[in-house]
Chain A
């Protein structure tokens, strides 16, 4: 089945620690996205990538980093510079006709 796989489902971060969220897709989409979802705030764009080896900051990129070494993979690192990382993180890829397809999400919490 084609789709987007996010892992882990739950992740805990200690103070000062960097953590990496995995996102893999087998939809053969060029564009991939990371969103953060907080209660009552909707989806906010962290980073996006239009093509391999290229990515751009979204609206709330501070404290986050990404890489796009393969078409299928777009991992997100939440660095220690992100002071309020507790949120639900969603990865998505986009088809050529602008449809976004989402993974099942990762809930990140701070210990």
Chain B
């Protein structure tokens, strides 16, 4: 079993829809949770960053962390064609010294105009 599981998609939605992207994980030591957006053949770009449990909102994006269920989500409101990309979740244990960042395999999202 992988430490981080993420549905690869592809996920196709109409423009304006609410998108829900999810990851599950097995390592209870993870404390820092991130979502990256990656356009084709580009480097991943950090979208959201959350420490421990709870919600974080930034514009049309909301990140949720449920540590009791080992489940994280990224919601995109009013999705746009420019949101079409692959979304990677990432997580790491407590800070200090070297901590490996573990990535999901990514979910490919297509927003159809």
Task: Give the residue of B44, B99, B105 whose beta carbon is less than 8 angstroms from that of A98.
Answer: B99
Q: Which residue of chain A has the shortest Cβ distance to B105 in the bound complex? A: A42
A107 touches B41 (CB 8 A): yes
Interface of B, helix, strand, loop or mixed by DSSP: loop
B44 touches A41 (CB 8 A): no
Interface of A, helix, strand, loop or mixed by DSSP: strand
A85 within 8 A of B: no
Residue among A41, A43, A48, A99 facing the most chain B CB atoms (10 A cut-off)? A43
A100 touches B101 (CB 8 A): yes
B34 within 8 A of A: yes
CA distance A45 to B3 in the complex (A): 14
A42 touches B103 (CB 8 A): yes
Q: Which residue of chain B has the shortest Cβ distance to A45 in the bound complex? A: B100
Q: Which residue of chain B has the shortest Cβ distance to A91 in the bound complex? A: B43
Taking CB atoms, residues of chain B closer than 8 Å to A4 are: 43
How does the 8 Å CB contact mask read for A87-111 relative to B, with 1 for contact and 0 for none?
0101000101111111111010000
A18 within 8 A of B: no
A interface, CB within 8 angstroms of B = 4, 6, 31, 33, 40-43, 45, 48, 50, 56, 88, 90, 94, 96-105, 107
